[in-house]
A = this chain, B = another copy of it.
Amino acid sequence: MNVFDVMNAVGLVAFAIVGSLKASDADLDLLGIAVLGFLTALGGGITRDVLVGRTPAALSGSGDVLWTFVGVLVALALAVVVDERGLLDSPALLVPDAVGLAAFAATGALVGVSAGVSSFGVVVLATLTGVGGGTISDVLLDRVPFVLTEDFYASCALIGGVLFVLAVDAGVGRRTAALACAGVVFALRLLAVHREWRLPSV
């Protein structure tokens, strides 16, 4: 496994844990907990693949499903011993979640550029791959998606996508640009949490 595969696996486990804990906190049943874990981890990538006309990787036999399953099981184990809300805000989850956001934004940008979409499209797909799963989960939980109201989260993926586009336009290799994108997203997200950055409303 290279560094991307590791980041991707960490992200899938973290996103699945977050989704399953949110579901458990909202008193969904076991199936609902599993569904929200899977959708939080895989929903962004599925939406991206549908937009560019690919059969979603999650349905065609990728190992991503296994990592997601691990995350759901970990969440179930955690949910029986500790309080879900506390876990969702704990630093132990924030760092792997930031790894996932970074890995997914970079993957989304790579898929976008391979599919030949516009620069705007690449930025949209980077952001969507990073935050799409959490957005779908929040809609199913009957909430305004947290990425639209709270702090500096989707913005990290968006900035990473813009940097990726600028780097590729400047002649940097796609793979290097994707690594830089992931690094910037990860650093920005940790900074945003640490400094409690928020976007203004109007």
Contacts and interface: CB of A to CB of B under 8 A. Distances in A.
A120 B60 CA distance: 8
Interface string A135-152: 100011111110111100
A58 B92 CA distance: 38
A199 interface: yes
Contacts of A135: 140
Contact of A59 (B26, B51, B61, B198): B51
B51 A51 contact: no
A182 interface: no
Kindly state the interface size class of chain A when it binds its partner.
35 or more
Nearest to A24: B202
Interface string A51-64: 11111101111000
Q: What is the predominant secondary structure among interface residues of chain A facing chain B?
A: helix
B139 A200 contact: no
A181 to B, nearest CB: 18
A29 interface: yes
A31 B148 contact: yes
A28 interface: yes
Interface of A: 23-24, 26-33, 35-36, 46, 50-56, 58-61, 65, 76, 79-80, 112, 115-118, 120-121, 124-125, 135, 139-145, 147-150, 154-155, 158, 198-202
